[in-house]
Amino acid sequence: MTRKENTVVVGCQLGDESKGRVTDYMANNARIVVRFQGGANSGHTVWVNGKKTVLHLVPSGVLNQHTISVIATGVTVDPFALYEEMNMLREQGVIITPDNFKIAANCPVITSIHKAIDVFEENLRGANKIGTTLKGIGPANVDRVARKGIKLYDLLHYDRLEKFFPLEVYQALTYKYALEDSHRAFIDKLYVIGKILKPYFADTSLFLDAECKKGAVLFEGAQSGMLDIDYGSYPNVTSSHCIAGYASVGTGVSSRYIDKIVGVAKVYTTRVGAGPFPTEITGDEGEALRQKGSEFGATTGRPRKVGWMDLVALKYGARVHGITSIAITKFDIFSGFDSIKVCTHYTIDGKNVYDMPVDHEDCSRAIPNYISFDGWSENLSQVDSAEKLPTQAIMYALYLADSLGVEIELIGVGPNREQTLVVSKKLLSDIINIRIIEMNK
């Protein structure tokens, strides 16, 4: 292969694995960074030079100004949220032009109606709430699949907007969902935002097809395999496909251009929203980890549930994505832990279970079986090379990668770009071997 690799970055747990910071780091070697699914439900936090930026729709490569950012067709776009995010970035000095920022003109659109339906339906669910982000993604995808949604290019045609939302329909919706805008104001706003965003509209499938042939395209996933509409813990999932295979579908680019799939995992697990969580740590111990790891939703601010590493879930994520390597983040949070637990398998109804049950609901009856690793006391924030990592941290990373049978790509020891170590299994194994030889001298 003469061209540089095209790489997909995806979440191997339940979202919030720090995909944003991994994407930001890997974007240094990329020419193009593209989002291919999800929408403003994602919250990707990136720290550069001590400054925090939370991205929702714009790819996390945008802070690497040499890259071109692309929002591809698989992303459900709230045009107002997108415009706000573009302005937030501009205020930070990020340059955004039609040359370095492209939005697929055929992305499905989220309107204020979808957001109102999201709130309405969550309230109807009562105790069975999914815990959605209320960004309207689910209802917009319902309209997309029912073939009554609108695409971004429709915003450029006033008559089409009137056809999609005729007065009588809009009035009925207003009655049901208490919409704030008048019919005219609703359509006018969509038409105006369409005009504002038009310069960035592109045929991104055509663009990316050509760019993938040149290489160095980074596909940034959102959510995770366990939140995938079909492969996740249904119904407590998002409404799009989040598995790596969707990188092709969501961009309109052949899967034959994808060379590498990096799965991101945190050293522990978090979940925001409802759904089974066998390794959850509750009470004071859970609260302490939540505070230490700053586990609060980047999109909604909700406290995330926290738990130990779950190998059943991790292996499942790794398999459905087909990852070739793993990036493991947040090692710094485990500093000061006496011991670290990993769930190797579940016991469900008296049986040992090593693979994710096809009915994920079975996990709500799962009793986790743990093994323990020694923790480490060292503060890792200044660790700038793998050689400076504590032996226990290296052993933990090797154990996870070996359990999945994949290479290790990166290790995160803090939120900043500089707190990223590029490693490999060979490098980490060599370090351990040298330490053993030194010890035996």
List residues with catalytic annotation. 16, 44
Interaction residues for ligand IMP, span 248-287 (CB under 6 A):
272-273
**16 lies in the binding site for Mg ion (CB under 5 A):** yes
Q: Which of 6, 7, 23, 41 binds ligand IMP (CB under 6 A)?
A: 41
Residue nearest to ligand IMP (CB): 273
Spatial distance between the Cα atoms of 293 and 271, rounded to a whole number of angstroms: 13
Spatial distance between the Cα atoms of 55 and 209, rounded to a whole number of angstroms: 25
Beta carbons of 23 and 9 less than 8 angstroms apart:
yes
In angstroms, what is the minimal distance from the CB of 43 to Mg ion? 4
Interaction residues for Mg ion, span 35-74 (CB under 5 A):
43
Region label for 439, one of left (φ > 0), alpha (ψ between -120 and 50) or beta (otherwise): alpha
Short-list 6, 48, 1, CA closest to 261: 6
**45 lies in the binding site for ligand IMP (CB under 6 A):** no
Instruction: At 435, list the tokens.
Output: 């330490």
Q: Which of 130, 155, 197, 401 binds ligand IMP (CB under 6 A)?
A: 130
In angstroms, what is the minimal distance from the CB of 192 to Mg ion? 30
Helices assigned H by DSSP within 201-354: 204-214, 246-249, 283-292, 311-321
Q: Which stretch binds ligand IMP (CB under 6 A): 39-47, 101-109, 394-402, 421-429?
A: 39-47
Q: Which does 242 bind (CB under 5 to 8 A by kind): Mg ion, ligand IMP, none?
A: none
**135 lies in the binding site for ligand IMP (CB under 6 A):** yes
Q: Which of 67, 76, 238, 248 binds ligand IMP (CB under 6 A)?
A: 238
Give the SS3 label for residue 285: helix
Residue 331: exposure state from Cβ atoms within 10 A (0-12, 13-18, ≥19): buried
Pairing of strands 407-412, 420-422: antiparallel
Q: Which of 15, 59, 74, 252 binds ligand IMP (CB under 6 A)?
A: 15
**16 lies in the binding site for ligand IMP (CB under 6 A):** yes
In angstroms, what is the minimal distance from the CB of 321 to ligand IMP? 16
Residues 6+ apart with CB under 8 A from 246: 36, 37, 74, 240
Interface with ligand IMP (CB under 6 A): 15-16, 41-43, 130-133, 135, 137-138, 222-223, 227, 236, 238-239, 272-273
